Chains A and B, each alone.
Chain A
Amino acid sequence: MAQWQEVQNLANAYLEQVHQLYAGSALPMAVRQCLAAWIESQNWRQAAEPLSSHARMLFHSLLALLDEHLGSLGMGNEDFMLKHNLRKARRDLQAEFEECPDNLANLVANLLQEERQILRLGQAGGEGGAAPAPSTPPESNREQQIQRRLAEFHAALQEAERAFRHLEDMQDAFDFCFKLYYRPGEDRTNDPQYTQQIQALQAKLQILDRQRREVLAQMQQLLGRSETLRDFLQEELEAWQERQQRACLGAPVDTRLQPLETWFTELGQGLFQLLQLLRALGDLRQKVSYERDPLKAETPLLERRLLELLTYLLRRAFVVEQQPSMPNACKRPLVLRTTSKFSARARLLVRLHDRNHRMEAKIHIDRDPPKIKGFRKFNILTSSTKTLLAGDCPQEGLVCDFQYLTLKEQKDSRSGKGSKGGGEGPLVVTEELHLITFTLAYAYCGLQLELETSTLPFVIISNNNQLSSAWASILWFNMLSCDPKEQQFFSAPPPAPWPRLAEVLSWQFESVAERGLSKDHLLMLAEKLFGSKASPESTVAWPKFSKDGAAGFSFWAWLDGILGLLQEHLKQLWKAGLILGFVSRKQEKKLLKGKRTGTFLIRFSESVLGGVTCTWVEHPESGPPAFRAVVPYTTAELESLALPDIIRDYQLLVEENIPENPLQFLYPNIPRDEAFGPYYSQWQEANLMEQKKYLNRRLIRVSSRQANESWQTEEELVATTENLEMLQLQPSGLGTQEPGGLASLQHGSSGTLQPRESGTLQVASGNLGTLQPSGPGTVQVVAASPEMLQVTSGNLGTLQPSGPGTVQVVAASPEMLQVTSGNLGTLQPSSPGTVQMVATNLGMLQVTSGNLGMLQVVAGSPGTMQPGVSVMQQPGSQVLDPPQLLQVGSGVSELLQPGIRDLKPQLVLQVVPEGQGMLQVGPGAMEPQLVLQLVSEGQGLLQVGPENLGTMQPVAGDTGMLQVGPENLGTMQPVAGDTGMLQVGPENLGTMQPVAGDTGMLHPVPGAVELLPVPEGQGTLPVPEGQGTLLVPEEQGTLPPELRDLEPLPGSLDVQELLQSLENVLQPRSGTLETLEAAELMPDMLEAMDGRLEGLDPGLAGNAALLNPRDPFLPQPEDTALPAVSSLFTTDFPSLHIDASDFQ
């Protein structure tokens, strides 16, 4: 049907030819039309052969089908003519071909052939008309060719199979007649009938012989065409391999294997089919053979040719799909680190396998190691074999996927002692190339092969700092080597032609930041390498590229530094083309000379590894234009402040001048904010800001320019202060500043540096410990946070570290480090170098100093924060010393907890700093899973800063008792963490009652589900409820109306229960540390309950009595805060709900 359908779709010119073809034909077009499918599915050519009965059979079938068709036509008028025509055609056909149906077969065969011819012309012409120019890309053209050829191949294969079946029939018929008539033993030469029969047999044998030869010819033809296909696929595969190699270098190319896999599989399938056909042909010979039987000589020949072809195809089809690479280094494959996992994958593109045969894949490393002295030998630690199971994701193909491989160097591989690490061999580690070879035992359809393929050479390093030079080797090899297995490449590495190298370098930028190198960039690089313009013949030697360098680093190291900088900080800007990047000084001047003052460009430093700088032009009133550049920013600086923000806020301080931003227009002429506006960071003010309790802050960069200094100014860190109270600046950064400059930067209250918003003091730190906001270098806040480091001082310019280098807050938090000083200048470390807070916490670290000189460091997540050692060891003594700064830290499970060593290790450390030297540590004694208590006293501020997952609980859970008691002047501010889950209360009991002090305020913060603060005494009671927004009580004595019907909880009973349970716990272990701790935890409680509860077990009193009044862990009588606490509990004892189940 297909052919006739296609014929009808031809253009008119070709349709005309078809009409002509049928005009004089004995087969009317009407018949062709109505029996199209049947006609096309018969083998007319074979039927046309002389002496074939096939033709007669077809002839009668045709007539019968016509009759049938006539019968099926309706009685309607529309069919009237058709019926007439068909009837006439039937009569004519019968009359003409009754005698010689062979002619009909020949006629139809020729007609079909002519049709195909016209179709070919028509379709070729049609294509030509649609796309007159041969503009189709050669790849897709080749793709189409392959697909067309594959289709033709399969069609021809089917044709051959049909011919084979015909041959089979023919042979069976002959065999039958032969056995019936041939009687060699009897002498019947005189029998005319016998002679006739023998002659007929002879004729039949002739035809059989011809048919055999014809099938053989068909197979020869098929093999010939498949050889072309083989060459095509081979070409495509080589192109793919080249693409893969280039993709390894970062080139943006398509490395999909799917089309190849489809093609290889189709061809393989066809060839295996052919193989079976060939074997079946051989079987035919077993049944009937004769002198000069063509099968005898030709089938073995064909089979050998076919097997050779198949073997070749299969060997090619085994490819390394994924070159070895470490999982996190997807852009830099082929560099492996010992002990690091890596993966590699091979694929058999011919997706055919025998389900009953287990195919085993193996990998070997360096199967034929090169004869290089000192060449390291490695073992693959993980299993090196893998079985390809049948039905193993058939749609995914035949894949040997080796994951989680690790390499280990063989200890004895370096001979002799003292050679280790010294590199006795002529090659350095990063120039040593290794190979992994995959082998696969393949078996299918009786063909057994050992397939093998190798990865590209890779470099094995043992340390990350070798990564860059290892990658340089990989670049060089894949760029220049013509033999992918040449492991000795670096014994004599060839130089790279500049055009090739330029292309590869451009890929590096493209893969890192999606934008390659422009012509101008390459021009600059060439100049840097060659000192002049590069000609196409210029070459770069390997040492020049990767080893030598006048500046102390090689060309590649320099470039890789820039790549690293781009990758981490400047991706977007580079992609948008805002960074001119590679501009020489000379060129830069040329570009900027004609531009107006304030025009700047961004370029990469040539003297600093991984540095980027801005150069701008100034046209003084007289004299030549001046070009200024900032000392390059490196990752260290950009980590804390992004380049667009630096540019936006950049300030230049000139003596006696108002600071100004000299960066106005990006070269050539784009207003700064227009160019960089989209990249400025949005200041997302936190909740704290909304409450207007804090001042806005912003981090900016300033350069100072002094009259006597050169124009290349140093880079500065800036602190802006609110109200112009105090500003302390200290040059930092690259260590080139002179200390003498400090004084001049002390702007103090002079207010030259205008803060954007009143009431803020901002201290920005660089990435690597650069923040030195104080004058003579007293306070150092060192953060490696990529986002923000804030040291905020209050209104009165209070950031006054006392002595030199005394306070260090070192945080490695990836998110935020906040050091906030209160209003009254309370960040006052007492003695030099005593206080250290080191946090490596993943969440947040907040250091807040309270109003009265309180500093709180709260960390929540287990195992991350490390409190300063000395402080931790003796928290009591520290704490109780009122003027001292308080030190708080939470630690891991194994970390020391002040005073409570025996508790179960899951405990979270709890530390409470306090203004007046009061510290209470209250861990849950029983089931100390999540407990943190923070109590601030007196005038202090209490901040509870929970972490990530709301795990921080300022209250001990299990004992059902938590008391957060801010006192007189205090405010309590629990701060909800990320997930909005803050529980200011014991989870299990569902009630928690923080007690607001007399004049205090309680600010519960959103998130608490079952938070039920109960006001006591004179205090107001904010009752946040449910999951809704929390109520922040502002006035005393009011109760939110909707909560009025909440009944004060009947405390006594619950408290009694609690005490009983406490007693249960305490009693058996009276006098133990635990008791002490329990008492210490809740001294107030004990006290509070003392009078109220009768029937308390005497043991408890005894235990309480055991408390050593001088124990530093216990609240000391002289502590001013202590009475306040106890009074709180005695007078305003909270209601408690205690669930008995909590004690189980």
Chain B
Amino acid sequence: MSRKEQETRAGTETMKAEAKIQNNEEEAEELKAKDQRLASVFGVADLKNGAIGLYNVGQSCCLNSLLQVFFMNIHFTGILRRITVPPCAMQKKRNVPYQMLLLLEKMQCGKQKAVSPIDLACCLSEYRVKLFVQHDAAQLFLNLWNLVKKQMKKPELVEELSNLYTICVQEHLACQKCSLETKRNSNMLTLPVPVLDTNSRALRTLEKCLQYFFHPEELTDHNMCFCEQCGRKTPFLQSMKLVHLPQTLTIHLKRFCFEESAYIHKLSHYLPFPQDLDFNAVLTENQCQADDSEKAAWQYELFAVIAHSGSTSCGHYCAYIRSLTECKWYCFNDSEVCQVSWDDVKCTYGHSNLHWGETAYLLIYMKKHPQ
């Protein structure tokens, strides 16, 4: 299995979540009351109290950053607010979307500088998302997203959530000996783009990284695949074509390098990314498998950056998010939130001589014209 395939798998991997639903009649009444209260809560939330921090509850900077990215995405909160409230207290405690909503409500209504996500963190720990552990933001994002998706009861919400985040690509495998070609559609939550090319040279820009990601790869030698037509292992040409891009596009810069198997190191070199990203300008005709209306919508602008500082073993995450309502950038460092500018975001491009500073790790782009 090639590297890319693995990544694709990782992207589509879902968390096996338990979904124990207990129907408890007794709590039906309480549910109604809660619903009413929630409605009033939404009203307050719509007042837009601005960016609120999240206390670090123990290595939770990664979770905090991701949560902020979720909460600042009005498309996501639009879905979250329509979830079904679990009937009983026990379920509420274990329901990730509900806990997220509660946290959002807490952030939005209280005129506090920051709130503590401890309840959500405890809830997540039920699902093997451990507390007090340094997470990888990309991994945690997938876990969190899958949990949310799993635990949403309403199918229309699930679909909406999927549409909001899922990238569709078509994988092509062509035997170089005969003309056999296999195609396979797959969905991904993130585009895990490499920051080095095959010769371990640093790629210059995000666009270059994307191009490299979609560049056809020859599978030779021990990477050869079995061709049914030829009846033996033959060299294949593997390529990926872009079919669909979602409203919220997450790009994962693979800055953690696994080259020397045991030792993971961080690549902190300079890699600029644009505020406005047009995939039509980045990819060639061959690398797309989409109609014109789909392609026309491939205009993106940067919405958030999750940046990592420090080394692989110990580090810190923070999130730079552009408020969709105010169109202003904020930086979320756990409980500290402050308004920043694009210049601050640019600081996360990285620096070849500085290894401990903030470098962008996850880039979240937002479609300019929602479909």
Binding site for B on A (CB under 8 A): 45, 48, 106, 109-110, 145, 210, 213-214, 216-218, 220-221, 223-225, 227-228, 231-232, 292, 294, 297-298, 300-301, 304-305, 308-309, 312
Contacts and interface: CB of A to CB of B under 8 A. Distances in A.
Given A213-B56, A301-B314, A301-B316, 8 more contacts: A220-B334, A227-B358, A228-B344, A294-B58, A301-B309, A308-B354, A308-B355, A309-B357
Nearest to B134: A297
Contacts of A309: 354, 356-357
Interface in B89-114: 111-114
A228 B343 contact: yes
A391 B353 CA distance: 33
B186 interface: no
Given A231-B343, A231-B347, A308-B357, A216 B314 contact: no
A292 B58 contact: yes
Nearest to B349: A231
A221 B343 contact: no
Contacts of A232: 343
Contacts of B338: 221, 225
Nearest to A160: B336
Contact of A221 (B116, B333, B346, B347): B333
Given A217-B334, A217-B335, A301-B310, A224 B347 contact: yes
19 contacts: A45-B113, A106-B112, A210-B116, A213-B335, A214-B334, A214-B335, A217-B333, A218-B336, A220-B333, A221-B318, A221-B331, A224-B333, A227-B357, A228-B346, A294-B56, A297-B59, A301-B316, A305-B310, A309-B356
B132 A225 contact: no
Contacts of A106: 111-112
B315 interface: yes
B55 interface: yes
Interface in B291-336: 309-310, 314-316, 318, 331, 333-336
Contacts of A145: 343
A304 B356 contact: yes
Contacts of B316: 220, 298, 301
Interface of B: 53, 55-56, 58-59, 111-114, 116, 132, 309-310, 314-316, 318, 331, 333-336, 338, 340, 343-344, 346-347, 353-358
Q: Which secondary structure dominates where chain A touches chain B?
A: helix
A223 B354 CA distance: 13
A110 B336 contact: no
B132 A292 contact: yes
A218 B53 CA distance: 11
Contacts of A214: 55, 114, 334-336
Contacts of A301: 309-310, 314-316, 356
A1127 B333 CA distance: 113
Top 5 nearest A-B pairs (CB, nearest first) are A305-B356, A217-B334, A221-B336, A221-B333, A217-B336
A658 to B, nearest CB: 77
A308 B331 contact: no
A223 B348 CA distance: 12
A225 B343 CA distance: 10
A224 B335 contact: no
Nearest to A106: B111
A224 B344 contact: yes
A899 B190 CA distance: 108
Contacts of A220: 309, 316, 318, 333-334, 336
A232 B316 CA distance: 23
A17 B116 CA distance: 31
A968 to B, nearest CB: 95
Most buried by A among B113, B132, B331: B113
A216 B56 contact: yes
Nearest to A231: B347
Contacts of A312: 353-354
Contacts of B58: 292, 294
A118 to B, nearest CB: 13
A294 B112 CA distance: 22
B268 to A, nearest CB: 11
A935 B316 CA distance: 100
A372 B111 CA distance: 70
Contacts of B335: 213-214, 217
Given A220-B318, A232-B343, A292-B132, A305 B334 contact: no
B171 to A, nearest CB: 39
A45 B53 CA distance: 13
B53 to A, nearest CB: 7
B354 A224 contact: no
Contacts of A231: 343, 346-347
A210 B315 contact: no
B132 A224 contact: no
A213 B310 contact: no
A223 B344 CA distance: 11
Contacts of A227: 347, 357-358
Contacts of B336: 214, 217-218, 220-221
Nearest to B343: A228
A297 B314 CA distance: 7
A292 B357 CA distance: 24
A305 B333 contact: no
Contacts of A294: 56, 58
A235 to B, nearest CB: 10
Nearest to A227: B347
Contacts of A223: 309
A300 B114 CA distance: 25
Given A224-B331, A309-B357, A217 B347 contact: no
Contacts of B358: 224, 227
B167 to A, nearest CB: 30
A110 to B, nearest CB: 5
A770 B235 CA distance: 91
Contacts of B309: 220, 223-224, 301, 305
A920 B142 CA distance: 115
Contacts of A216: 56, 334
A605 B285 CA distance: 61
A207 to B, nearest CB: 11
B157 to A, nearest CB: 33
Given A106-B112, A220-B334, A305-B309, A225 B344 contact: yes
A48 B115 CA distance: 13
A228 B347 contact: yes
Nearest to B331: A224
Given A221-B331, A221-B333, A110 B357 contact: no
A305 B111 contact: no
A225 B59 CA distance: 22
A45 B112 CA distance: 8
Contacts of A308: 354-357
Contacts of A305: 309-310, 356-357
Contacts of B355: 308
A217 B56 contact: yes
A210 B55 contact: yes
B334 A213 contact: yes
Nearest to B344: A228
Nearest to B114: A214
A224 B353 contact: no
Contacts of B353: 312
A312 B116 CA distance: 36
Contacts of B357: 227, 305, 308-309
A231 B357 CA distance: 12
Most buried by B among A145, A210, A216, A220: A220
B310 to A, nearest CB: 5
Contacts of B59: 292, 297
A45 B336 CA distance: 12
A379 to B, nearest CB: 33
Contacts of A304: 310, 356
